Amino acid sequence: MICNFLFYLCDFILLIKVVIFVTTFYFVFLGLIFLSDAFLIVFYPVFEAVSTCIIPETRDAGDLLP
């Protein structure tokens, strides 16, 4: 009887640990998604400016003709 009680207690504790782990992982995952969105919103103009400085837009073929 005591062994069964301990077994169920350990099983219940394991279930609680799994639930806590899953919810923590879920909220961390959502936080990362929101942070990445905010990161893109804030830094997208910077990336755009740097990329246009490094890789200038290609000119038309008419500009290359003599």
Which is more confidently placed, 43 or 59?
43
Residue 27 structure tokens: 């909220």
Domain residue spans of the chain: 24-54
pLDDT score recorded for residue 30: 77
Distance CA 52, CA 45 (A): 11
Give the DSSP H/E element, type plus range, for residue 62: helix 61-64
26 phi/psi in degrees, rounded to 5: -65, -45
Question: For residue range 10-53, what is the model confidence (pLDDT) as tens digits?
Answer: 888 888 998 998 888 888 877 777 777 777 777 777 777 777 66
Distance CA 39, CA 31 (A): 12
pLDDT score recorded for residue 45: 76
pLDDT score recorded for residue 12: 86
pLDDT score recorded for residue 55: 60
